[in-house]
Amino acid sequence: MNQELIYLDNNATTKLDPRVLEAMMPFLTNQYGNAASNHEFGVAINQYVKEARANIAELIGCDDHEIIFTSGATESINLAIKGIAESNQGKGKHIVTVVTEHPAVLDTCRHLERQGYEITYLPVGPDGLLDMHNVGQSIREDTILVSVMLVNNEIGVIQRIEEIAEIAHAKGAFFMTDATQAVGKIPVLVNHLGIDLMSFSGHKFYGPKGVGALYVRSKRPNKAKLNALIHGGGHEKGLRSGTLNVPGIVGMGQAAWIARKEMQADAQRIGKIRDYIEKELLQIDHAFLNGHSNQRLYNVTNICFEDADADAMIIDLKDIMVSNGSACSSTSVEPSHVLMALGLTERQGFSSLRISLGRFNTQQEAVIAVKSIKEIVTNLRLMNV
């Protein structure tokens, strides 16, 4: 791979911040103790886990004990949805979610359907946003959970989750959000937004892979009680047994600390680069933006270039890394389920690129990427004539 790699796929994963790596290194070498051990070495290691938990809790505005460490957002989502489903069977077996959710949510819900649960999959408008009237109408007396993604991973739209949470609570349901693309990038304060359960992952905000967290509300009236998925040892309040990934947890804690300090500056700088890329690329004939143009995250643009195959564009871009959908479903030969939900044709879905920026991208990289994409779209269309 060429050393001049331009990485524009930050919604798939982000580069590990060097400051995070520095914080992790001692726990990959001489500070190797098990945080659950009760000897002096283990107790000392556990103190660093506590500090990381406190940093993450402060980032999202919750109590330290409401953070449950997992292997990543996918595990957090499974624990939240299945855990709530099992512990609330007496109330009902109905769950509400959205057609544009991440596969981790959709596949978990499909699994529950096979277990006898009923799932309502809400549609979105052409802009990717939910209709609040539809949300209210979908919740029933036997609804136990409403799960709506905060920021969509493919098109970046931001749902009105504070309002959705109010609707869910008014009808006696818990509210969950997959905030994997939001935490560490924009302010996400769980008490202000009315969130009961929230999944997120360290590697989406410049932390390490293999570590994530689930926020579980501990306060009434919406105290969330979960059944565990993994048993054995009673780690993480009995909800996620297994030896703690101390280097990963410390790294995620450091990434959270940096995010609190630098989030606003990152947003301003990255947003300007995204706006430049988008403005330039939308000047291409028969190119249009997928999703809402304003109510979305600052780092992502998803553009359809009609009559130019996205896979061919990705191949031709070589050392410029972009995406044509979710990295977690990239082996699929089907068009993006998110873009199909917006009303695109299959051909338009296969002609769409996602460009997602991060902390380490530069304006110069944006200039090079724009020039390359313009040339490739032109060439591909000429080949189709």
| Tokens, residue 190 | 């769980």
Q: In the predicted model, what is the mean pLDDT of residues 12-16?
A: 98
Least confident interval from 37-46, 62-71, 98-107, 324-333: 324-333
Lowest pLDDT segment from 110-124, 130-144, 226-240, 262-276: 226-240
Q: Length of the chain, please? A: 385
The predicted pLDDT at position 346 comes to: 96
Task: Give the residue range(s) of CATH 3.40.640.10 domains in the chain.
Answer: 18-257
With b for 16 or more beta-carbon neighbours within 10 A and e for fewer, the 306-336 pattern comes to bbbbbebbbebbeebbbbbbbeebeeeeebb
Q: In this predicted model, what pLDDT tens digit does every residue of 118-141 receive, in sequence order?
A: 999 999 999 999 999 999 999 999
Q: Is the pLDDT of residue 108 over 70?
A: yes
| Band (18; pLDDT cuts 50, 70, 90) | very high
Q: Looking at the DSSP assignment, which residues form a beta bridge with residue 174?
A: 145
- Average pLDDT over all residues of the chain: 95
pLDDT score for 385: 62
**Rounded mean pLDDT of 277-295?**
97
pLDDT recorded at residue 238? 87
Q: Which of 209, 217, 213 is nearest to 70 (CA)?
A: 213
CATH code matching the domain that covers 6-14+263-384, chosen among 3.40.50.150, 2.60.120.10, 3.90.1150.10, 3.40.50.2300: 3.90.1150.10
* End-to-end Cα separation, the chain, in angstroms: 32
d(CA 3, CA 17): 18
Instruction: State the Cα–Cα distance between residues 261 and 128, nearest whole angstrom.
Output: 31
Range(s) within the chain of domains with CATH label 3.90.1150.10: 6-14+263-384
Query: Which pLDDT belongs to residue 234?
Result: 87
pLDDT tens-digit map of 25-50:
999 999 999 999 999 999 999 999 99
What percentage of residues in the chain have a pLDDT greater than 70? Answer: 97
DSSP string covering 76-132, please?
Answer: HHHHHHHHHHHHTTTT--EEEEETTS-HHHHHHHHHHHHTT-EEEEE---TTSPPPH
Whether residue 100 is predicted with pLDDT greater than 70 in this model: the reply is yes
Mean predicted confidence (pLDDT) in 299-315: 97
Catalytic residues: 328
Confidence of residue 16 (pLDDT cuts 50, 70, 90): very high
Question: Thinking of the domain 18-257, which architecture would CATH place it in?
Answer: 3-Layer(aba) Sandwich (3.40)
| pLDDT above 90: percentage of residues in the chain | 92
Residue 4: predicted pLDDT:
84
Listed range (141-150, 234-243, 320-329) with the worst mean pLDDT: 320-329
Distance separating alpha carbons of residues 299 and 51, to the nearest angstrom? 29
